[in-house]
Amino acid sequence: MSDYDFDLFVIGAGSGGVRASRVAAAHGAKVAVAEEFRVGGTCVIRGCVPKKLLIYGAHFAEDLKDARRFGWNVPDCGFEWQTLRDNVLGEVDRLEGLYRNTLDSNKVELIGERATVAGPHTVKLASGREITAKYILVATGAWPVTPDVEGAEHGITSNEVFHLDECPKRIVIVGGGYIANEFAGIFHQLGSHVTIVNRSSTLLRGYDESIRDRLLQISTVKGINFRFNAQMERIEKDKDGSLHVHFKDGDPVSCDVLMFATGRTPNLDGLGLESAGVELSDKGAIKVDDYSRTSCESIYAVGDVTDRLQLTPVAIREGHAFADTVFGDNPRTVDYGCVPSAVFSHPPLAGVGMTEAEAKNRLGTVKVYTSDFRPMKNVLAGREERALYKMIVDATTDRVVGLHMIGPDAPEILQAAAIAVKAGLTKQDFDDTVALHPSMAEELVLLK
Ligand code: NDP
């Protein structure tokens, strides 16, 4: 008999926590997971999944217009936000059910309340009950940060945006990152007047500059408004509910919904980590080693709460590697090299490996190949919008060290191409592959 109630107690049933729980249980561990909200975490409940479904819904706006050029008699179509919203939320419910089933079928005990750390081997539930475990895994994710500005309480975040009563006629989105650009695309397609307010003049820091510039150019032409280098002063709310965002310089912007998309911070408030001596980084994330172990031997952490790479598939890998290491007699670390990522903006963009600027800094001499083209479908549809693919090659070894693209289906294409970049293939290997014609992806093997 173990001295503890459980072999593993997981706090947080999001992507990382659920994966770790079920794999540890499959390795024979007795596992419990506590979740204070809903099973599935940010990705399933109020992130990647409902967001992607809204993007599919929003895309019909252009598809229905384009369909006429392809011979379809499309009558003027109306759009009902409530139908899309409710169907998306229904799908979220279904997926949550599947996540619950997974835990159940792996004999993981789900405890539907908040748990905090009360010592190296002890957690305390909101109900007051204390539970002991040989290991504790913290997988509590991250939470939206909102800027410290007068009237900020009138704004929402990505937590609330999926539940809006109406599709806003005017929306201001603060931030220039992933969430801002994705929701700008969604609401613009759904007919809202969209303004992105950014504190600098840079969108999507970390992505290749040419790709970011292309997104800005396309978004501007579509009619999304941008306020760069904008310092908010205060937000006022009228009796009729409309909001006015005032800036240090320039005219105020009025809207019906103000959304903050200004980053996410590790979710650690009141978690009791100090009771077990768990150290935090300067950025307020849990410090972990390569095996996700914290400064307390019996406590591990995975996912956004550790702020390594705030991406769902990374959290899942970390959770899996943790379970294999601690319960599967198979110590494993996660390889963070060449992790592909995408922004589901309109059009979407995606990248893997080094940007041109990074490669020049790190390698010295690089070769850059680009293809700037109008996708066939856009040509017939009469859309001027151009795609841009960019390949960065180490001039000394001919190895492809970065691939970046914006255009229809860019994330779908990049996921496959990322295998080649991760495998260290050369430009010659790409050139040796026969093009698949006619496709957009063939541009990758025809770069001159
Ligand atoms: P991001 O880190 O992508 O972007 C945050 C933006 O907010 C930046 O433009 C930043 O400006 C700005 N900002 C930060 N603080 C302030 C402030 N106090 N006042 C005004 N502006 C501010 O965060 P998101 O919220 O968009 O997304 C959070 C994370 O979620 C992402 O980092 C990503 O890891 C993940 N995510 C991934 C998605 C995907 O994979 N497709 C989709 C959605 C989210 P500056 O550049 O100047 O710092």
Q: Is the CB of 52 under 6 A from ligand 1?
A: no
Q: Which CATH superfamily is domain 347-445 in?
A: FAD/NAD-linked reductase, C-terminal dimerisation domain (3.30.390.30)
Q: Is 6-143+265-327's fold the same as 152-262's? A: yes
Q: Is the CB of 245 under 6 A from ligand 1?
A: no
* Atom number, ligand 1, closest to the C-alpha of residue 205: 46
- Distance (Å) from CA 306 to ligand 1 centroid: 16
> Per residue in 224-257, pLDDT tens?
999 999 999 999 999 999 999 999 999 999 999 9
- pTM comes to 0.97
Which is it for strands 6-11 and 193-197: parallel, antiparallel or unpaired?
Answer: unpaired
Residue 180 in contact with residue 195, Cβ under 8 Å?
A: no
Active-site annotation, residues: 437
- Distance (Å) from CA 171 to ligand 1 centroid: 18
Sign, Cα dihedral of 195, 197, 203, 204: negative
- Distance (Å) from CA 179 to ligand 1 centroid: 7
Domain residue limits, the chain: 6-143+265-327, 152-262, 347-445
Predicted local confidence at residue 27, as pLDDT: 98
Predicted local confidence at residue 332, as pLDDT: 96
- Distance (Å) from CA 16 to ligand 1 centroid: 21
List the residue whose alpha carbon is closest to atom 33 of ligand 1. Answer: 310
What sections of 27-80 are H helices per DSSP? 41-46, 48-69
Name every residue whose Cβ is closer than 8 Å to that of residue 289 and which is 6 or more positions away in sequence. none
Query: For residue 130, what are the CA distances in angstroms to 18, 20, 93, 126, 296?
Result: 21, 22, 30, 9, 19
Secondary-structure percent of the chain, ordered helix, strand, coil, rounded to 5:
35, 25, 40
Predicted local confidence at residue 307, as pLDDT: 83
> Per residue in 56-77, pLDDT tens?
999 999 999 999 999 999 999 9
SS3 89: helix
Q: Is the CB of 262 under 6 A from ligand 1?
A: yes
Q: Is the CB of 348 under 6 A from ligand 1?
A: no
Taking the domain 152-262, which CATH number applies? 3.50.50.60
Residue 16 in contact with residue 140, Cβ under 8 Å?
A: no
Query: Which tokens go with 202?
Result: 């840079």
Per-residue pLDDT of the chain (448 residues; tens, 9 = 90+): 589 999 999 999 999 999 999 999 999 999 999 999 999 999 999 999 999 999 999 999 999 999 999 999 999 999 999 999 999 999 999 999 999 999 999 999 999 999 999 999 999 999 999 999 999 999 999 999 999 999 999 999 999 999 999 999 999 999 999 999 999 999 999 999 999 999 999 999 999 999 999 999 999 999 999 999 999 999 999 999 999 999 999 999 999 999 999 999 999 999 999 999 999 999 999 999 999 999 999 999 999 999 899 999 999 999 999 999 999 999 999 999 999 999 999 999 999 999 999 999 999 999 999 999 999 999 999 999 999 999 999 999 999 999 999 999 999 999 999 999 999 999 999 999 999 999 999 999 999 9
Residue 33 in contact with residue 18, Cβ under 8 Å?
A: yes
- CATH architecture classification, 6-143+265-327: 3-Layer(bba) Sandwich (3.50)
